[in-house]
Amino acid sequence: MSLNCENVLHRKCNCHVLIFRGQANQVVDCRVCGDPHSRLRFAFVEFADEYSAKAALSLGRMNFGFTQLKVLPSKTAILPVNPTFLPRSEDEREMCARTVYCTNIDKKVTQADVKNFFETRCGEVSRLRLLGDQVHSTRIAFVEFVNAESAILALDRCGDTLGSQPIRVSPSKTPVRPRAPRTSSPSLDKS
């Protein structure tokens, strides 16, 4: 079951702590949405079971710092990540701790631009995958850092402009796996 939380103002929102202090171990997923500089930010929080969600819902309006959060039942579910992309080993889980997922990247921005943006602000990038197509107006990137501390710093870049658009940065649930080498097709040489 998912809940919608309105008035989420914190730039680095850890929903496990921020919203449901006593039930953090029951939170399965959290997605923070909206402009990080706006009062209109909101989050979707998914719980392990209906009982936990109802208990969190009973909190009604709650204060976090100087802001009152509004907790409501969600009309939509959080779309799950394809299980084949999830970490398969302890090494891959550690890679995820060093990786951020970036969205709303301007199509004119290059892989070198993304790498330079994060390295000058956060730390050394060990691997980067910039993805996009002709259908969507923006691109996405997975940025893996050498150190987990750099990934934490990168979360503060949410809302910063890269190219001509503010990017969104969130923790990655999937590791950036090395690309499999392309296999060459059999030779068609008929000597």
Q: How far is CA 92 from CA 96, 97, 171, in A?
A: 6, 9, 14
Residues 36-61 have a mean pLDDT of: 72
Tell me the CATH number of domain 2-73, given options 2.40.70.10, 3.40.50.740, 3.30.70.330, 2.40.30.10. 3.30.70.330
pLDDT score of 4 more than 70? no
Domains of the chain by residue range: 2-73, 83-171
* CA-based nearest residue to 172, from 100, 115, 110: 100
Give me the architecture of the 83-171 domain, per CATH.
Answer: 2-Layer Sandwich (3.30)
The verdict on pTM exceeding 0.75 is: no
Longest dimension (CA), the chain: 79
pLDDT score of 88 more than 80? yes
